[in-house]
Chain A
Amino acid sequence: MENDNSVSEGGDVRRPGPVPGYRSYLTVWGALVLLTGLTVTMASLDLGALAIAAVLAIAAIKSTLVLFYFMHLRYERRLLIKLLMPIVLATLAIFIGLTYTDILYR
């Protein structure tokens, strides 16, 4: 966090903003390992239909952590880069939604 990578400079959006320090990287890593443990434990319990939803929810949380902290999306100030992932995920959601309307109601 110490490096003031021209944080202010009159709102120059092209410069990289502040990034996490060693400790926050280690914290995120710890959270990822814990969530892995949690997902393995949950899978060994017999949760039935709920299991897949739980396992996917944890995977979503884990990828968000990686995207936000390791890939610095949380600190990104360029709008284009910020928007890319939501756009591609929305596109994917449309693909999946349309495919399932076909499969379920054919």
Chain B
Amino acid sequence: MSADGTHPRADLEADDFQAARGKVGMWLFICTEVLLFGGLFLLYSVYRFKHHVDFHAGSMDLSRVAGTLNTIVLITSSLTAALAVHSLREGSIVQAKRFVAATILFGLTFLTVKGFEWGTKFEHGLYPNSPVLLGMPKGQILFFGLYFTMTGLHALHVIVGMSIFGYTLRHLGSTVTAAKPVLLENVTLFWHLVDVIWIFLFPLFYLIS
């Protein structure tokens, strides 16, 4: 890489430094995300503490099958994302592209299941501020309010992750290579974070009835 050969490692170290900086930046962002969702989880836990019975009743209305299916889908998408980074590090662009594409497809599957779930809720007249919901006990209004807010914010993260994966897929092999894997590495870190958040959302909303 060095043009004159006097400092064979100089460029490499500059690249290293940049990569390290990118990684630290991503981790800092992940920390802000943990605090963002952490605040919502705290809200959930306090309301659950105060409206114990209503939260259990609300949870009964959620489809455990859909929730479990989506958990498996998201965990598997995390695997394919990790394998994409692994393939890129090993220098196989084609393999990395396949794994990124698989990750996007799993993300799409997750959103489809989520869409059907929300759709069923809407059909039953359950959506924020709906007459049916407002006629329910206070704790259930809070439960569904938190359900729509938290899974909605999470779904937004899935959409953002998929979009960046799509962008990365287009540039894999050109600007994203084994020597410059930071974009793929960072979007994968973000994707794993989205997975971790779902790992907590799933039991707290679907499994407490």
Contacts and interface: CB of A to CB of B under 8 A. Distances in A.
A9 to B, nearest CB: 10
A95 B16 CA distance: 36
B68 A29 contact: no
B23 A58 contact: no
Interface string A47-89: 0000110011011001100110111000000101100110111
Contact of A40 (B49, B196, B207): B207
Contacts of B196: 63, 66-67
Q: B20, B46, B68, B82: which has the most chain A beta carbons within 10 Å?
A: B82
Contact of A14 (B20, B72, B82): B20
B79 A84 contact: no
A88 B35 contact: yes
A5 B181 CA distance: 14
Nearest to B34: A88
Contacts of A21: 86
Contact of A99 (B17, B42, B189): B42
B83 A78 contact: no
A103 B192 contact: no
B28 interface: yes
A102 B16 CA distance: 47
Contacts of A100: 46
A63 B38 CA distance: 14
Contacts, number: 112
B27 interface: yes
Interface in B173-209: 189, 192-193, 195-196, 199-200, 202-204, 207-208
A19 B208 contact: no
B108 interface: no
A56 B38 CA distance: 14
Contact of A3 (B13, B24, B89): B89
Interface in A1-28: 3, 5, 14-15, 19-22, 25-26, 28
A18 to B, nearest CB: 11
A59 B195 CA distance: 11
A92 B38 CA distance: 7
Contacts of B13: 14
24 contacts: A3-B89, A5-B89, A19-B89, A22-B83, A25-B86, A29-B75, A29-B76, A36-B75, A40-B64, A40-B207, A43-B207, A55-B203, A59-B199, A63-B199, A66-B199, A70-B81, A71-B189, A81-B27, A85-B27, A87-B31, A89-B34, A92-B38, A95-B38, A96-B38
Q: Which 3 A-B pairs have the closest CB atoms?
A: A43-B207, A55-B203, A88-B31
